[in-house]
Chain A
Amino acid sequence: MKPRQQRMLAFGLAAVGIAIAAALTLTAFEENMMFFVDISDVKEGSYPANRIFRVGGLVVEGSVQRKAGELEIQFDLTDLKSELTVIYEGLLPDLFREGQGIIALGRINTSGQFVADEVLAKHDEKYMPPEVADSLAKYRQEDAPAIDSGTNDP
């Protein structure tokens, strides 16, 4: 085999070897590399005990409660399977609102609620102009079963 072909082979084998090593390392550290824990996992009890960790979920509609004049806020997060109550005292990101994806950093208290030190908003990869978003929202509302629609909004 010519020296150049030998180098190519060595190079190729090294590349494959490094890729396998990286894949094995990353799979082995899977659990440590999760940026946040799912709500369902927290409810089941599989979250790191005795240290702060992050949870991620969507803010449940109508769950945001704040006493007037106080900074403390309470809301529920869901991953569409389970719900978790979060208590937080501090500044909220601009994007915080019902239905928004949220990542909270903190720990579980004795009552099973999540006391957050930091609340971050997470947005998805979709971008659209406001008009498109409005017509999508209307489209979804029209499709939804009419449970309590007492208005004649078009």
Chain B
Amino acid sequence: MWTWFYKLASPPHFFGISEKMIPWFGVPGILLITWGTWNGLFVAPPDYQQGDAFRIIYVHVPSAYLSMMAYVVMAIAAGIGLIWRIKLSHAVAAAAAPLGAWFTFLALATGMIWGRPMWGTWWEWGDPRLTSELMMLFLYFGYMALHAAIDDIAKADSASAVLALVGAVNIPIIHYSVEWWSSLHQGATILRYNGPAMPTEMLVPLLINIFGFTLVFAALLLGRARTEVMYRERRKVWVRNHVLPDST
């Protein structure tokens, strides 16, 4: 029953199927992002309060969502790697870290650009949402730095995995920060008890973009993971056969 799971743990098998999967994630993802962004920029109505400036939401929210989802993927992959001792899982976690860091940076940057005209400030140090999201950027950096600092890959994987798991407690903190403490950043618009606080014409392109960003992240993750696997397995025969098919 678990054959598919354990087959997935085989680096050459993963390497083969991931090559075929990437376009199935990447192409629809890019198409969705194109449609969602165009719709968000030109078709969705302006906001009664923020005017056209609110449209940065169509990049800011998907980035922020992905920044957290990438961390969850990284933490789960790290956990699977630690518990089931599957090396490929650690490769996926290592591949996810730089992607997650970029999405976090994008979320923070678009947030600052949005905050300057709306709130009147680029950054506020006491705000719990901003602080916890920045904390996550440091956790990504920490993961990558710790991994690079340890020569033995297996030990590096384990150490970074522990860091990823300890830092996972930050994820609910980021999400609930605006509920638990007083903050400058407003509460959730989509995941609300009474339903989204946004009309359909504004909400649909946002959901499309979130989904599109997720698909593109999956494609990028598969691509990075393939490279990571190839590097880790570089002395194995299957890699040599792949790179130099005529050498055998």
| A interface residue numbers (CB < 8 A to B) | 4, 7-8, 11, 14-15, 18-19, 22, 26, 30, 33-36, 38, 54, 56, 91-95, 103, 118-134
On chain B, which size bracket covers the interface? 35 or more
Within the complex, the shortest CB–CB distance from B135 to chain A, in Å, comes to 12
Does residue B245 face the partner (Cβ distance < 8 Å to A)?
no
> Lowest 3 CB-CB distances: which A-B pairs, in order?
A93-B120, A133-B48, A129-B45
Give the complex CA separation of A133 and B47 in angstroms.
9
Contact B117 A120 (CB under 8 A): no
State whether B181 touches A124 (Cβ < 8 A). Answer: no
> What would be 23 A-B contacts, judged by CB atoms less than 8 Å apart?
A11-B165, A15-B165, A19-B169, A35-B126, A35-B128, A35-B184, A91-B120, A92-B120, A94-B117, A120-B119, A120-B121, A120-B184, A122-B184, A123-B119, A124-B186, A125-B186, A127-B189, A128-B198, A128-B202, A129-B47, A132-B48, A133-B48, A134-B48
Given A126-B197, A129-B48, 7 more A-B residue pairs with CB atoms under 8 Å apart are: A8-B83, A35-B183, A94-B118, A95-B49, A120-B124, A125-B186, A127-B202
Q: Is the C-beta of B182 less than 8 angstroms from some C-beta in chain A? A: yes
Which secondary structure characterizes the binding site on chain B?
A: loop
User: B98 to chain A: closest CB distance in Å?
Assistant: 24
Question: Closest residue of chain A to B172, judged by CB?
Answer: A19
Instruction: Say whether B9 faces chain A, with CB atoms less than 8 Å apart.
Output: no
Residue of A nearest to B119 (CB): A120
Complex-state Cα separation, A35 to B183, whole angstroms? 5
Q: How far is the CB of B119 from chain A (nearest CB, A)?
A: 5
Q: Mark B178-213, 1 if CB is under 8 A from A, else 0.
A: 001111101111001000011101100000000000
The answer to whether A34 and B47 touch (CB under 8 A), given A22-B169, A121-B119, A129-B199, is no
